[in-house]
Amino acid sequence: MKELIRLAFPRKDRPISDFVASRYVDEVISFNRNQHEVSGTIHKILENSVIVKISEADAEQIGAASNMTVVAHKNYTVE
């Protein structure tokens, strides 16, 4: 039977900022990437960033591989 591996350094609980705590899925945000302003909707909220769904045209304009991209919390504003 396999045993679970325990991490040598347990994850630390960090306080969540009010800005991050007030974010929600499908919220519209904007950010700059490759000298282009891009708007999109939050698809998933992570600890340090959000996964954002953008238009195919914006994805092509910024050189993204798909219409989903990751944006750090410090790099976007709420519309």
Quick one: pLDDT at residue 2? 60
Quick one: pLDDT at residue 45? 95
Beta partners for residue 39, in sequence order: 30
pTM of this prediction? 0.82
Domain 18-78 is of which CATH architecture?
Answer: Roll (2.30)
29-70 per-position pLDDT tens digit = 999 999 999 999 999 999 899 999 999 999 999 999 999 999
Whether 14 has a pLDDT exceeding 70, the answer reads yes
Quick one: pLDDT at residue 1? 53
Quick one: pLDDT at residue 28? 98
Smallest Cα–Cα separation from 40: which of 25, 60, 55, 21?
Answer: 55
Residue 48 burial class via C-beta count within 10 angstroms: exposed 0-12, middle 13-18, buried 19 and up? exposed
Q: Which two tokens stand for residue 79?
A: 């519309």
